[in-house]
Amino acid sequence: MRPVTPAERTALLATIATLGAVPVATGLSAMIGGPAAAPGGGPTTASVDSEYRFVNLFWAAAGGTLWWSLRRPEQRSAVTRSVLGLAAVGGIPRLLSVRKVGRPHPVFQGALVLELVVVPLVLGWHRRVIRPSP
């Protein structure tokens, strides 16, 4: 296995910081704007609105957790990998939705690609570059 360069480590951490910004920004926006403000969104029931805003707190917290993990990447590698892994697995319910309801707005189709392709690649990159501390 080739050694990791400082530039590669920096690029990985910057990528994870950027990935963390997505759920923070979109989660906060969703909590404030609700489902009607989502791309392709519209009016819905009070129950769906409540659930949507609630779930987006966890989405925003996932991004914040990624940012937190970057302060000590080796010591918090399991946290980073858990959050990235959950985000990747999150693509599965999106696929279920496509099958049951149809294709969502293009923004959410992009999210599906991000979750099922990009995040697993970043997870593999993280496993190669960041060695957990004992």
Helices 46-69 and 6-33 pack at an angle, to 10 degrees, of 160
pLDDT of residue 104: 97
Domain locations in the chain as residue ranges: 6-129
* Kind and range of the H or E run holding 44: none
- Quick: pLDDT tens for 10-31: 999 999 999 999 999 999 999 9
Q: Which residue has the tokens 């690649």?
A: 121
Please return the burial class of 83, using the count of CB atoms within 10 Å of its CB with bins 0-12, 13-18 and 19+: buried
The residue type of 12 is: L
Q: Which residue has the tokens 């080796």?
A: 74
- Quick: pLDDT tens for 96-111: 999 999 999 999 999 9
The residue ranges of the chain whose pLDDT is under 70 are: none
pLDDT of residue 111: 96
pLDDT of residue 133: 80
What are 76's two structure tokens?
């918090």
CA distances in angstroms from 10 to 6, 13, 73, 91, listed in the order given: 6, 5, 11, 27
Q: Which DSSP symbol is given to 45?
A: -
Residue pair 66/83 in contact by the 8 Å Cβ criterion:
yes
Q: Which DSSP symbol is given to 107?
A: H
Q: What is the CA radius of gyration of the chain?
A: 16
Contact residues for 88 (Cβ-Cβ < 8 A; gap 6+): 115, 116, 119, 120, 123
